[in-house]
Structure 1
């Protein structure tokens, strides 16, 4: 009896969506088939349209029915969903089982269905499931809520929904947010740091997340603290960024390449170049190689403060790391020397840069050389 109900409700649904496609393919195949053979082709055998599709789907349904015998549990449904390769069929099975008497989906089946929907790019299905979960369709769990937050953070118009789920987690003793929850939300906030005005708005959210994480006793890792440092540095609240940096040891975390790059950028933008140079030296002592953009902002900042020896030293360090400054960085250093009356030094250093920089082409060299001749007139 269960098989008959299952076939009647769902076979017609799937076959309806596949009828047009298969019929079109059949018509195109017949139209493009060759008609120049010597003997006529035998008449086609009569068959019901989409008979192949019907047979395939019927077999899939038979497999499901074997798995989902009367009295099935959420464990049985979860096993069946995980073995299904068709996300649309999985969703309909999820719906069908949810409509049966004496059965209710739990957090495990909802988690599996969301993962299937997202991986299969059935985002409308996933959005529907998210709304059901927020409405209380099942008992929650931390993995389920984190999966929902991750999905919502990846969809711009669902950004606020991610925080609705977070609030739901806070209100339940069994589903308190963990480190993954906070990292997902911090990352989502940081991705909205586009300009100063917007960044300052979302910085408040980062500060709030940081405070709540500490209050909940959640120990941050290096990645989480780096995001907090980056948020403060981007908004030029560099003292707060350094404070978070100093706290890393308290949690047993070690700063990495990104930690130092965020601090150096923030300090140079605040014209605290000496401190930026200090973090750069500490970084190099630890064996980290800065990004090209970090090298260049430090070089330009040092040159603009007439600290040319330090700037030139960083340039050579950059070249030794097989990276090349851009034209603007070179001009800042070389033309800065000219303005200080050190024209001969500028010509000499340009030649040294040319020898060391295998990436410097003739065009760049001529532009820099012409600039020196112009300033020397």
Structure 2
């Protein structure tokens, strides 16, 4: 009998929370000069009634699940009830009601399920509340729960620092040490803030700290994690450190991929170490990897500015053979550079060859390049 009274009161609270207070609305209208509209018709049901015919579908579902949760229910029973709900608000109400019962306490399983339901249902306010409860120690933690919290926090700009609070909480607990997924989530979150050189150096310290802690804790990085570390160092032009992590890939049994080489080539060319960049380019081509268009163009322009036109033109043809087209600036850098070196005839000949090979070059681009050669010559 006591249990029935409790959950009937809880239902009334839930439904009251979802309705607009008519008394408050009338009070505002009485103090206003505007003629109040006629009051809305009374609801077709009584909120606290026990008659199932007059209840809303939401109240009926809530009532049904309370009946299924027999006295002495466990977190596994609550987890099943939460996963069975299509309405995230109803799931949250069940989560709150069960948490208020005697001799019951939510654990990491139910918190993890509720956070996943709240995020997938776009109930971010609920998720933020749950995160604060978890950080405050509302339940015993687990690695999947903490990783789920970190993932959510990394996706919300104003919760960025909270993600690292959870990470520190994991480090301080023997049973919830960070795993590879934890480090990848945090590294990815840091790299998304590498907008310019000054900001890069600020966040690079965080990347270095994470990479050291990952090694110290015995977590073996995969190619994706090492690529993020290499990218961070390459963007900050700490090329020697980036190459050192590249060499360490073999120690962990990882194989460098397309992105590994592209990050290194970009960094080396920006640093002025074009010859080394060309060496990594040849190495990746030997492995059958094709760079992205931006990597091609960075290398082509860098070689041309070093007056290495033979290598630059060779990379241009390699790019064209891969059904990719350099942009106007890349073409101008190579062709006008030839003119300035006194090789105007070669420049005009190469322009005609590029036009035949490049199916994307239109008449406008061709005329701009041709006029630029005449002017430079």
TM-score, normalisation: structure 2: 0.90
Q: How many equivalent residue pairs?
A: 351
Once residues 375 and 337 of structure 1 are traced to their aligned partners in structure 2, the CA distance between those partners, rounded to angstroms, is 10
Deviations along 1:162-189, one digit per CA (max 9) or x if unpaired, are: 1110110011100000000011111111
Once residues 350 and 201 of structure 1 are traced to their aligned partners in structure 2, the CA distance between those partners, rounded to angstroms, is 44
The structural deviation recorded for 1:269 is 0.3
The reply on whether 1:48 has 2:49 as its aligned counterpart is: no
Correspondence for 1:323: 324
The structural deviation recorded for 1:9 is 1.8
The reply on whether 1:269 has 2:265 as its aligned counterpart is: no
The structural deviation recorded for 1:129 is 0.5
User: Which consecutive residues of structure 2, in runs of 5 or more, have no partner in the other structure?
Assistant: 22-41, 48-52
Once residues 365 and 72 of structure 2 are traced to their aligned partners in structure 1, the CA distance between those partners, rounded to angstroms, is 76
Deviations along 1:320-345, one digit per CA (max 9) or x if unpaired, are: 11110000000000000000000000
Give the match's secondary structure for 1:249: coil
Give the match's secondary structure for 2:251: helix
- Kindly report which structure 2 residues correspond to 1:209-224, keeping only aligned pairs within 5 A, or say none: 209-224=210-225
Correspondence for 1:28: none
Once residues 290 and 338 of structure 1 are traced to their aligned partners in structure 2, the CA distance between those partners, rounded to angstroms, is 28
The answer as to whether partners of 1:238 and 1:267 remain within 8 angstroms in 2 is yes
Correspondence for 2:246: 245
Once residues 273 and 328 of structure 2 are traced to their aligned partners in structure 1, the CA distance between those partners, rounded to angstroms, is 24
Correspondence for 2:91: 90
User: Which consecutive residues of structure 1, in runs of 5 or more, have no partner in the other structure?
Assistant: 21-45
Once residues 113 and 56 of structure 2 are traced to their aligned partners in structure 1, the CA distance between those partners, rounded to angstroms, is 27
TM-score, normalisation: structure 1: 0.90
The answer as to whether partners of 1:19 and 1:49 remain within 8 angstroms in 2 is no
- C-alpha root-mean-square deviation of aligned residues, in Å? 1.7
- Kindly report which structure 2 residues correspond to 1:72-83, keeping only aligned pairs within 5 A, or say none: 72-83=73-84
CA 1:181–1:16 in structure 2 vs 1: closer, same or farther (change >3 Å)? Answer: closer
Give the match's secondary structure for 1:218: coil
Correspondence for 1:149: 150
Correspondence for 1:370: 371
Deviations along 1:220-251, one digit per CA (max 9) or x if unpaired, are: 00000000000000000000000000000000
Correspondence for 1:169: 170
Correspondence for 2:338: 337
Correspondence for 1:351: 352
The answer as to whether partners of 1:236 and 1:270 remain within 8 angstroms in 2 is yes
The reply on whether 1:64 has 2:59 as its aligned counterpart is: no
Deviations along 1:181-207, one digit per CA (max 9) or x if unpaired, are: 011111111111111111101101100
The structural deviation recorded for 1:19 is 7.1
The structural deviation recorded for 1:7 is 2.7
The answer as to whether partners of 1:315 and 1:325 remain within 8 angstroms in 2 is yes
The reply on whether 1:5 has 2:6 as its aligned counterpart is: yes
The answer as to whether partners of 2:223 and 2:256 remain within 8 angstroms in 1 is yes
